[in-house]
Structure 1
Amino acid sequence: MGEVRLLKAEMERLLDFLRAVNNSRGSAQVQEFAWIRQIRDATYDASNTIGEAEYIRRRNRLKKGLLGAISRYSQLPSDLVKLHNVYVQCKRVRRRISKIFQSLNSFVNLGIGAIRVGRTEEEFEPDHGPVCQPFEDDIVVGFQIEFNEIVEKLLEKQENNLSVISIVGMGGAGKTTLARKVCSSPIIKEHFGTILWVKGIDLISKIMKQIMEPGNESREINQKEYKMRTKIHDFLLKKRYLVVLDDVWQTNAWDKINDVVKVFPDVNNSSRVLLTTRKEDVANHIQMPTHVYDLQFLDDEKSWELFRNKALPSYKRSMVHDLDVFEDLGRKLAKKCNGLPLALTVLGGYLSKNLSVEAWKDIIEGCALTEEGEMMGKILARSYNDLPNHYLKSCFLYFSAFPEDHMMCVPDLIGLWISEGFIPETRTYSLEETARKYVTELAQRNLVQVVHRSRVHGCIERIQIHDIFLHGWCIKEARDGFLDVINKTAGKAGESSSITLKAYRTSFQNFYDHEILQETPNLQTLLGFSLPSMSLMPDVKFLRVLHIENSSLKDFSRKIAGYIHLRCLRLRRCEHVVLPSSISQLIFLQTVDLRDTQLDLGVPYSMWDIPSLKHVYLESQFSAPWNRRKKGIQTLSLNIPRYSNCFQSDFAKLLRQMAQLTTLHLDMRDIPEDIIKTLSKMPRLVELYLDRFDRIDKLPDSQHFSQNLRDLVLIAAHLRQDPMPVLEKLPNLMVLRIQGYDGGESIYCSTDGFPRLQELELKLFSIIKWRIKVRAMPRLSYLTLRCCQEMPVLPLDFLNLPSLKELKLDGMPQITSDQTTYRELERKGCKVMKCF
Structure 2
Amino acid sequence: MAESAVKTVVGSVGNLAVQETKFLCRVTLEVCSLKDELMRLQAYLKDADSKWRSGNARVAVLVSQIRTAAYQAQNVIEAADYMEKRNRLKKGFMGAISRYARLPSDLATLRKIGVETRRVRRKISEIFSSAEHLKIDLDNTAEVNGQVEDEFPQDFVLMHQNYEDGVVMVGFQDEYKEITDKLVYEGQMLSVVSIVAMSGAGKTTLARKVYTSPRVKQHFDTVAWVTVSQKFKSVSLLKDIMKQITGEEDEPVDQMQEYEVGKTISEFLSRKRYLLVLDDVWETDTWDKLNRTIKAFPNSNNGSRILLTTRKQKVANHIEMPTHVHDLKELDEEKSWELFSTKALPSYRRSAIGDVGEFEELGRMLAKKCDGLPLALAFLGGYLSKNFNIQAWSNILLFWPSTNSTKMMGDILARSYKDMTDHCLRSCFLYLATFPEDYTIDVSMLIELWIAEGFISHAPKHEQEETARRYVADLAQRSLVQVTRRSMAHGWIEEIRVHDILRDWCIKEARHGGFLNVIDKTSGQIGSPSTYIMVSYRFSYQDFNGKNLRAARNIRALFGFQLQSTSLHKLRYLRVLHIEDTCLEDFSKAIGECIHLRCLRLIRCQDVTFPSSIGKLLYLQTIDTRGTYIALVPSSMWNIPSLRHVYLGDHHFVPRGVQQKELQTFWLVLPHTNGKYCNPDMVRFLGQMTQLTTLWLSTCPHIPAEMMNIFVNMPRLVDITLNRLSVLDKLPESHHFPQSLRSFDLSADDIKQDPMPMLEKLPCLVVLKLLGYGGRTMSCSTRGFPRMKNLQLRRFHVTEEWKIEAGAMPKLSCLILTSFTNMSKLPEGLLHVPSIDHLELNSVPLISVGDDNTLKELQQKGCEVIITRR
Does TM, scored on the shorter chain, surpass 0.5?
Answer: yes
Matched residue SS, 2:539: strand
Q: Distance in 1 between matches of 2:207 and 2:440?
A: 16
1:585 and 2:585 matched = no
1:607 and 2:637 matched = yes
What stretches of structure 1 of length at least 5 have no aligned partner? none
**Any conservation in 1 of the 2:557–2:576 contact (CA below 8 Å)?**
yes
**Any conservation in 2 of the 1:23–1:117 contact (CA below 8 Å)?**
no
Could you tell me how far 1:300 is from its partner in structure 2? 1.4
The correspondence of residues 669-680 of structure 1 with structure 2, limited to 5 A, is 669-680=701-712
Q: Distance in 1 between matches of 2:583 and 2:457?
A: 34
Q: Distance in 2 between matches of 1:417 and 1:23?
A: 25
**Any conservation in 1 of the 2:43–2:139 contact (CA below 8 Å)?**
no
1:55 and 2:55 matched = no
Question: TM-score, normalized by length of structure 1?
Answer: 0.93
1:150 and 2:186 matched = no
RMSD: 2.7
Counterpart in the other structure of 2:325 = 292
Counterpart in the other structure of 1:507 = 540
For residue 363 of structure 1, the aligned residue among 396, 402, 418 is 396
Counterpart in the other structure of 1:180 = 208
What stretches of structure 2 of length at least 5 have no aligned partner? 1-26
Counterpart in the other structure of 1:166 = 194
For residue 548 of structure 1, the aligned residue among 553, 570, 579 is 579
Summarize the Cα distance change of 1:702–1:215 in structure 2 as closer, same or farther, 3 Å threshold.
Answer: same
Could you tell me how far 1:548 is from its partner in structure 2? 1.1
Q: What does the per-residue CA deviation read over 1:217-239, in whole Å, with 9 as the maximum and x for residues that have no partner?
A: 44335x6xx67666665565554
Counterpart in the other structure of 1:401 = 434
Counterpart in the other structure of 1:782 = 814
Which is worse superposed, 377-386 or 26-35?
26-35
Matched residue SS, 2:251: coil
Q: How many residues align?
A: 824
Q: Distance in 2 between matches of 1:40 and 1:697?
A: 61
Could you tell me how far 1:310 is from its partner in structure 2? 0.8
Q: What does the per-residue CA deviation read over 1:24-49, in whole Å, with 9 as the maximum and x for residues that have no partner?
A: 88545333211111111111111111
Could you tell me how far 1:333 is from its partner in structure 2? 0.4
Summarize the Cα distance change of 1:392–1:786 in structure 2 as closer, same or farther, 3 Å threshold.
Answer: same
**Any conservation in 1 of the 2:795–2:818 contact (CA below 8 Å)?**
yes
Could you tell me how far 1:512 is from its partner in structure 2? 4.9
**Any conservation in 2 of the 1:624–1:654 contact (CA below 8 Å)?**
no
Q: Distance in 2 between matches of 1:728 and 1:274?
A: 42
**Any conservation in 2 of the 1:23–1:116 contact (CA below 8 Å)?**
no
The correspondence of residues 130-529 of structure 1 with structure 2, limited to 5 A, is 130-131=159-160, 138=168, 140-158=169-187, 160-192=188-220, 193-200=222-229, 201-210=231-240, 211=242, 213=248, 214-221=250-257, 236-254=269-287, 256-257=289-290, 262=295, 264-467=297-500, 469-479=501-511, 480-493=513-526, 499-514=532-547, 516-517=549-550, 519-529=551-561
Question: TM-score, normalized by length of structure 2?
Answer: 0.89
**Any conservation in 2 of the 1:540–1:563 contact (CA below 8 Å)?**
yes
Could you tell me how far 1:495 is from its partner in structure 2? 9.5
Q: Distance in 2 between matches of 1:187 and 1:722?
A: 34
Letter in 1 for 2:219: H
**Any conservation in 2 of the 1:136–1:181 contact (CA below 8 Å)?**
no
Could you tell me how far 1:170 is from its partner in structure 2? 1.8
Counterpart in the other structure of 2:685 = 654
Counterpart in the other structure of 2:105 = 78
Q: Distance in 2 between matches of 1:267 and 1:794?
A: 34
Could you tell me how far 1:665 is from its partner in structure 2? 1.2
Letter in 2 for 1:167: I
Could you tell me how far 1:272 is from its partner in structure 2? 3.0
Summarize the Cα distance change of 1:695–1:531 in structure 2 as closer, same or farther, 3 Å threshold.
Answer: same
For residue 720 of structure 1, the aligned residue among 749, 752, 758 is 752
Letter in 2 for 1:795: P
Q: What does the per-residue CA deviation read over 1:448-493, in whole Å, with 9 as the maximum and x for residues that have no partner?
A: 11111134532111111112x1010010011021111011232134
Q: Distance in 1 between matches of 2:374 and 2:758?
A: 51
Which is worse superposed, 250-259 or 169-178?
250-259
Matched residue SS, 2:525: coil
**Any conservation in 2 of the 1:486–1:494 contact (CA below 8 Å)?**
no
Summarize the Cα distance change of 1:20–1:459 in structure 2 as closer, same or farther, 3 Å threshold.
Answer: farther
Which is worse superposed, 300-309 or 824-833?
824-833
Matched residue SS, 1:108: coil
**Any conservation in 1 of the 2:579–2:601 contact (CA below 8 Å)?**
yes
For residue 566 of structure 1, the aligned residue among 575, 592, 597 is 597
The correspondence of residues 816-835 of structure 1 with structure 2, limited to 5 A, is 816-817=848-849, 818-835=851-868
Could you tell me how far 1:19 is from its partner in structure 2? 6.4
Which is worse superposed, 338-347 or 572-581?
572-581
1:30 and 2:60 matched = no
Q: What does the per-residue CA deviation read over 1:36-83, in whole Å, with 9 as the maximum and x for residues that have no partner?
A: 111111111111111211111101110111221222222222222222
Summarize the Cα distance change of 1:779–1:167 in structure 2 as closer, same or farther, 3 Å threshold.
Answer: closer
Could you tell me how far 1:17 is from its partner in structure 2? 4.2
Q: Distance in 2 between matches of 1:270 and 1:747?
A: 39
The correspondence of residues 693-772 of structure 1 with structure 2, limited to 5 A, is 693-743=725-775, 745-765=776-796, 766-772=798-804
Letter in 2 for 1:544: R
Q: Distance in 2 between matches of 1:20 and 1:115?
A: 11
Counterpart in the other structure of 2:114 = 87
Which is worse superposed, 119-128 or 605-614?
119-128
Could you tell me how far 1:179 is from its partner in structure 2? 2.4
Q: Distance in 1 between matches of 2:706 and 2:50?
A: 55
For residue 107 of structure 1, the aligned residue among 134, 137, 152 is 134
Q: Distance in 1 between matches of 2:783 and 2:323?
A: 58
Which is worse superposed, 580-589 or 75-84?
75-84
Summarize the Cα distance change of 1:190–1:361 in structure 2 as closer, same or farther, 3 Å threshold.
Answer: same
Letter in 1 for 2:710: T
Which is worse superposed, 15-24 or 264-273?
15-24
Q: Distance in 2 between matches of 1:174 and 1:646?
A: 48
Could you tell me how far 1:155 is from its partner in structure 2? 2.5
Matched residue SS, 1:450: strand
Could you tell me how far 1:374 is from its partner in structure 2? 1.6
Could you tell me how far 1:638 is from its partner in structure 2? 1.1
Counterpart in the other structure of 2:23 = none
Q: What does the per-residue CA deviation read over 1:643-678, in whole Å, with 9 as the maximum and x for residues that have no partner?
A: 567962211221221111111111123222222122
**Any conservation in 2 of the 1:546–1:568 contact (CA below 8 Å)?**
yes
Summarize the Cα distance change of 1:19–1:612 in structure 2 as closer, same or farther, 3 Å threshold.
Answer: farther
Could you tell me how far 1:15 is from its partner in structure 2? 4.4
Summarize the Cα distance change of 1:512–1:44 in structure 2 as closer, same or farther, 3 Å threshold.
Answer: farther
Which is worse superposed, 819-828 or 128-137?
128-137
Q: Distance in 2 between matches of 1:30 and 1:386?
A: 24
**Any conservation in 2 of the 1:689–1:713 contact (CA below 8 Å)?**
yes
**Any conservation in 1 of the 2:838–2:865 contact (CA below 8 Å)?**
yes
Counterpart in the other structure of 1:793 = 825
For residue 635 of structure 1, the aligned residue among 665, 684, 690 is 665
**Any conservation in 2 of the 1:416–1:545 contact (CA below 8 Å)?**
yes
Could you tell me how far 1:514 is from its partner in structure 2? 5.0
Matched residue SS, 1:141: coil
Q: What does the per-residue CA deviation read over 1:705-754, in whole Å, with 9 as the maximum and x for residues that have no partner?
A: 111111112222222222222222222222222222224x3223333322
Summarize the Cα distance change of 1:154–1:349 in structure 2 as closer, same or farther, 3 Å threshold.
Answer: same
Q: Distance in 2 between matches of 1:390 and 1:474?
A: 15
